[in-house]
Structure 1
Amino acid sequence: MSKVDIKFNENPKAPDAGADVSILSREIAEKVRRFHSTFDTYAPTPLARLTHLADHLGLGEILVKDESYRFDLNAFKVLGGTYAVGKLLAQKLGKEIDEVSCNELRSEETRKAVGDITFASTTDGNHGRGLAWAAQQFDQKAIIYMPKGSDPIRRDNIRALGAECTISELYYDDCVRMAWDTAQKNGWLTVQDTSWEGYEEIPTSIMQGYTTLALEALEQMQAMGVNRPTHVLLQAGVGCFAGAMLGFFMSVFEKDAPTFIIVEPEAANCFYVSACENDGTPHAVTGSLATLMAGLACGEPNITSWEMLRDYPLAYASCSDDIAAKGMRILGAPMKGDPQVISGESGAATTGFLQWVMQEEEGREAREKLGLTKDAKVLCINTEGDTSPETYRDVVWFGRNN
């Protein structure tokens, strides 16, 4: 049986009274996209318009940004890794990121100037694959660690890009600490998509890297005649991605910003728990963090995005795994006339939540408080495709987590 717990923000902030979002402005997003566009394989990912699903659920629009097409890597995370690595290499050349291109950074001259670099990180799969791809593009080395229980296919995908990758016996947050300590001892550069005191510059660059997809989505929806989304549903693991999307749309629309809803797995719901504590500080959840939504199995909020995700969302939803499974099936077997979206476990969490809140009796009060009506224009982001094909088939074909 589906289980969704929703905590409403008791004191959502106005744009001029909450956390600063200027590091995620449209101007910065345009600079980030300019860098990404210098890669030969860059192309905007599709924005799927699910008109018939919107009618079925009683909404004005459902738009799904489909990151399964990103750089042929099946997930959005590569946007953060490439931008962070690009900035690091540019700095070593004494340049700004907007002064360099992918080709310049992969040139023989750059390679001689910067020397041998090893980039290290912990990943549930997609960030590590993106970082491995970035290192490969620039003829550098990557060493990636994965937490206990990770799908070996995700490890193999990382290795196929020339990186070293091992699955540890540690849960995610402990694996992050181990990877950091190992990198420090060996003189490697940590490129981690979460932050802690004293390690904030690179995670900020990663967040900024994600704004390419937000800028694309905004331009695509406006080309469809949708000036702005009224609601943006965002998955949260450590919160780097959710903070990037929220910060961009807050910066662009300010007082007309959309309503933001944060969606997490109940086994790794650190933002929901922090909202329930309501003391203004982040709270971690511990244990195995075992969830179908492997990419969201993170127990400690990212401090770089924490204040944004504390101040601006209207609600935080903690969801059982079957919510994501339903989302995968809804997107994979669309209503007649709607495009198909192949979505992995983490990518489909928001679509599954949207179906629950719109159609289940238990969601009635929440959908009214959230303003999810026939006039609502809802944006979801499919953050990954079938990055674990066996899991995808088990869920979509054979009804796992039904």
Structure 2
Amino acid sequence: MSQFELKIAIADNGRFHPKTDPRFGQQTAREARHFHHTLNGYRPTPLYAMNHFAQALGVSQVLVKDESQRFCLNAFKMLGGTWAIARLLCQKLNLDIQRFSFEKFRRQGIPPMTFATTTDGNHGRGVAWAARELGQHAVIYMPKGSSPFRVKHITDLGAECIVTDMNYDDTVRLTMRMAAERGWEVVQDTAWEGYTDVPTWIMQGYATLADEAAEQMESMLNAPPTHLLLQAGVGAMAGGVLGYFADRYGADRLHTIVVEPDRADCLYRSALQGDIVNVSGDMNTIMAGLACGEPNPLGWPLLRDNVRQFISCEDRVAALGMRVLGNPLEGDPQIVSGESGAVTVGLLAAVMHHPKRAALMKQLNLTPESRILAISTEGDTDPQHYREVVWEGKDAI
């Protein structure tokens, strides 16, 4: 096997102190999943066993949940947006969330409102889809450098999409100003003072995929995961999914690793500091969905308490993961995974080929008994860039 060394900075979490949060556990996840089950086209996304990859790595199992097959939207994000919008409408209109459905709401002919959000692509697509299904309006702001393909995915759903000349976090602040001026409802996946309900609901919505994965994994292996690999932008998905698994299995029995791009590694830096650290600048990474510089303050306590290690890695790690999943070892399933979706499997592949493989395996507590769960959070949401990486060798080793 060839050897090569990619940049992987590992921060062992000295503040690991397992603690659950009742807002982000099994009960709230199952409430959200019950709602998602009412949506036309709902079905659990597949969980694939990468048996030959696991053997090459030297572990028992590597399982990858393929969120590219979520409601034909090519990413997991709509889980959070739809649940949050449903909860928001029930709160504003005094409706019963247990009886709420998009189809029933649309038939009521309630005057349309406008939902606004900032996105790197997938979250905005989910909000736009939900607004269309409800007969409402959506205005989606995107940071500078956003892919034209991701813009088109949003406008094709009938939403207005505005690409700014600012980074992600500054675009969030612009969205807030415009929404306040124009009376729009903000559906954002990070929290700030006075704005916590919607991001809480979004994190709870993401846990639908965790509930599915736990059922699937136990059905396949009759055993829980030993390792949970999560990619992070603001940390909303990572916090929501980890909250579920910590409640179900206990964080002390689960080795959770959070992975970020080195150009937007706010959680990694926060782990080193012991408190929230913001990253500014352009955050020019191929992992567009993770290019966020300010941690979600709702998700950070869960991650601080329950994550074993935070990892900051270069873009070539994500590119490697895209190629590994798209061109698997013989007998393993092929998974089309985008830049943000593939970074965790890219990390495992980078460890496999690293000159210091044995030391890294030991540090990450990867053994022949390890059962690893990773989530491919998106498919080829930018098809041109996907081909540039997988076919043309962009960000090559």
Q: TM-score range by the shorter chain?
A: over 0.9
Within 5 Å, give how 1:36-51 maps onto structure 2: 36-51=36-51
Aligned match of 2:153: 157
User: Secondary structure of 1:380's partner?
Assistant: strand
Aligned match of 2:182: 186
Aligned match of 2:265: 269
After superposition, the C-alpha distances for 1:238-297 in whole angstroms (9 at most, x for unaligned) are: 00000011100001112654111010000000011111123xx20001110000101100
Aligned match of 1:326: 320
Q: What amino acid sits opposite 1:33 in the alignment?
A: R
Q: 1:364 deviation in Å? A: 3.3
Contact 1:59 1:372 in 2 (8 A): yes
Q: Tell me which of 362, 370, 376 is aligned to 2:370.
A: 376
Q: How many residues align?
A: 392
Judge which range, 360-369 or 283-292, deviates more. 360-369
Q: 1:121 to 1:340 in 2, by over 3 A?
A: same
After superposition, the C-alpha distances for 1:66-86 in whole angstroms (9 at most, x for unaligned) are: 000000000000000110111
For structure 1, the residue ranges without an aligned partner over 5 or more in a row are none
Tell whether 2:90 aligns with 1:90.
yes
Q: What amino acid sits opposite 1:386 in the alignment?
A: D
Q: 1:2 deviation in Å? A: 1.6
Give the root-mean-square deviation of aligned CA atoms. Answer: 1.2
Q: What amino acid sits opposite 2:375 in the alignment?
A: I
Judge which range, 245-254 or 136-145, deviates more. 245-254
Q: 1:98 deviation in Å? A: 1.6
Tell whether 2:250 aligns with 1:250.
no
Aligned match of 1:234: 230
Tell whether 2:65 aligns with 1:70.
no
Q: What amino acid sits opposite 2:386 in the alignment?
A: Y
Q: What amino acid sits opposite 2:76 in the alignment?
A: F
For residues 362 and 282 of structure 1, the distance between their equivalents in structure 2, rounded to whole angstroms, comes to 31
Tell whether 2:142 aligns with 1:138.
no
Q: Tell me which of 2, 8, 24 is aligned to 2:12.
A: 8
Aligned structure 1 segments of 4 or more residues deviating by more than 6 angstroms: none
Aligned match of 1:356: 350
Q: 1:22 to 1:363 in 2, by over 3 A?
A: farther
User: Secondary structure of 2:204's partner?
Assistant: helix
- TM-score, normalised via structure 1 length: 0.95
After superposition, the C-alpha distances for 1:46-77 in whole angstroms (9 at most, x for unaligned) are: 00111111001101000000000000000000
Contact 1:50 1:339 in 2 (8 A): yes
For structure 2, the residue ranges without an aligned partner over 5 or more in a row are none
User: Secondary structure of 1:302's partner?
Assistant: coil
Aligned match of 1:61: 61
Q: What amino acid sits opposite 1:2 in the alignment?
A: L
Tell whether 2:300 aligns with 1:296.
no
User: Secondary structure of 2:169's partner?
Assistant: helix
Q: What amino acid sits opposite 1:47 in the alignment?
A: L
Judge which range, 192-201 or 354-363, deviates more. 354-363
Tell whether 2:309 aligns with 1:315.
yes
User: Secondary structure of 2:43's partner?
Assistant: coil
Q: 1:226 to 1:341 in 2, by over 3 A?
A: farther
User: Secondary structure of 2:263's partner?
Assistant: helix
Within 5 Å, give how 1:10-29 maps onto structure 2: 10-15=14-19, 20-29=20-29
- TM-score, normalised via structure 2 length: 0.97
Contact 2:113 2:184 in 1 (8 A): yes
For residues 255 and 171 of structure 1, the distance between their equivalents in structure 2, rounded to whole angstroms, comes to 34
Contact 2:18 2:252 in 1 (8 A): no
Aligned match of 1:401: 395
Aligned match of 2:214: 218
Q: 1:7 to 1:384 in 2, by over 3 A?
A: same
Contact 2:54 2:62 in 1 (8 A): yes
Identity of aligned residues (%): 49
Judge which range, 181-190 or 224-233, deviates more. 224-233
Contact 1:86 1:105 in 2 (8 A): no
Q: 1:210 deviation in Å? A: 0.5
Contact 2:48 2:333 in 1 (8 A): yes
Q: 1:291 to 1:102 in 2, by over 3 A?
A: same
Aligned match of 2:329: 335
Contact 2:245 2:251 in 1 (8 A): no
User: Secondary structure of 1:354's partner?
Assistant: helix
Q: 1:176 deviation in Å? A: 0.3
